[in-house]
Amino acid sequence: MTSTTTPTLSVRNLRTWFHTQAGLVRAVDDVSFDVHPGEILGLVGESGSGKSITGFSILGLIDPPGRIDGGQILFKGTDLATLSKEELRQLRGNRIAMVFQDPMMTLNPVFRIESQMVETVLSHERCSRKAAWNRARDTLAAVGIPSPAERMKAYPHQLSGGMRQRVAIAIAMLHKPDLIIADEPTTALDVTIQAQILAEMQKLCAETGTAMVWVSHDLAVVAGLADRVCVMYAGRVVEAGETDDILDHPRHPYTVGLIGSVPSNDRSGDRLYQIPGMAPSPLALPQGCAFSPRCEHASERCRAEQPPIDTGGGRSYRCFHPQTGALL
């Protein structure tokens, strides 16, 4: 990790809270991380851990009753909260782009691909329609769509799921953004198509120096893709560090359990390690460490107070009883 360059994205103590009628939901609570140019950060967690809300917060896509209640989101050193609506609009889709899980939500079903892509180009740049069209076609080719000129004329429903996701990625890549937030873009795809998309994303990040935040529940995908990993649980980052380091020497008991639960190792037939219980309701988080009711190492202290972030050697974790790193 080079700390001398300005990170593309620096999230500092972000708090996104939802003030619902049923009570306060701390969906994202005190989350911090940096992403440097060309780096891929994996944001891993189970459903309800706040990983997607973190992504949405960065783009300012939080709707009431949700609100960013604290912390800073610095994009190349500028605090996004200080920008006006128009300045934000200039950034979004241009310098910061997002790829969602379901491309049908991104693409407008009643417009051809070409109209949607040309519109995206022209909304951020002054150029001729012809030039915009050519750029759109070249970007489609870059994400591996065969005969892009023909596909430009197609409507979203005429494309397969993998093709649609490529179009969504191409739209995100149109302006060669500095930062891409990818929210589970391959979860709905087949294994071979997923590998194609991952290959394209990897190539694009390496070639253009784009930083990427890859939000996913799939630890195995992140293992193959990310430089660094943040593991989230109940709205907090419980462990962060280099991918190899985290996967080989997890310190937080939740990370240890998560790695043990992935059935892709070679001990077939054995029982998998299972984390007992289930994720707590975000409305009624346990006192102290949110993981303590499911943790076999939990002590009185864990149930009473929040463990602070412990940093050292490029690693950080929130735990009073860090594990020695022996895998299950």
Partner 1 sequence: MSTPILMQANQVSRLFVKRPDYAERLAGLLGAKVASHTVHAVDRVDLTIHQGEVVGLVGESGCGKSTLGRVLAGILPASSGTIQTPAGELASLTGHAAHAQRMATQMIFQDPMSSLNPRKRVRDIIGEAPLAHGIVARRDCEDYVVEVMRRVGLDPDFRNRFPHQFSGGQRQRVGIGRALAVKPKFLICDESIAALDVSIQAQILNLFMDLRHDLGLTYLFISHDLGVVQRISDRTVIMYLGRIVESGPTAEIFKAPRHPYTQALLDEVPRLSNRKRRFHAIKGEIPSPLNPPAGCHFHPRCPHAMERCKTEQPLLREVGAGQLAACHLLDNAPRGANP
Residues near partner 1, by CB under 8 A:
46-47, 160, 162-163, 190-196, 198-199, 202, 217-221, 223-225, 227, 243-244, 247, 257-269, 271-275, 278-279
Element housing 29 (H / E):
strand 23-35
Shortest distance (Å) from residue 152 CB to partner 1: 18
First vs last Cα of the chain: how many Å apart? 28
CB 136 within 8 A of CB 154: no
Residue with smaller CB distance to partner 1, 93 or 235: 235
- In the complex, what is the shortest distance from the CB of residue 54 to partner 1, in angstroms, rounded to a whole number? 17
Q: Nearest Cα to 226, choosing from 201, 250, 249?
A: 201
Nearer to partner 1, 105 or 191 (CB): 191
Residue the block writes with tokens 């893709």: 225
- Identify the helix (H) or strand (E) that includes residue 57: helix 51-59
Q: Of 176, 253, 242, 239, which is closest to residue 207 (Cα–Cα)?
A: 176
Under 8 Å between Cβ of 317 and 239: yes
Q: Report in angstroms how near the CB of residue 175 gets to partner 1 at its nearest.
A: 24
Closer Cβ to partner 1, 224 or 308, answer by number: 224
CB 112 within 8 A of CB 154: yes
> Toward partner 1, which CB reaches closer, 163 or 285?
163
Q: Which is nearer to partner 1, 128 or 192 (CB)?
A: 192
Smallest separation (angstroms) from partner 1 to the CB of 12: 27
Which residue lies nearer to partner 1 by CB, 68 or 239?
239
**Nearest approach, Cβ of residue 324 and partner 1 (Å):** 19
Q: How far is the CB of 75 from partner 1 (least distance, A)?
A: 26
Nearest CA to 78 among 174, 3, 12?
A: 12
Q: Edge-to-edge strands of the sheet including 9-20?
A: 23-35, 9-20, 66-75, 78-79
The owner of tokens 């790829």 is 99
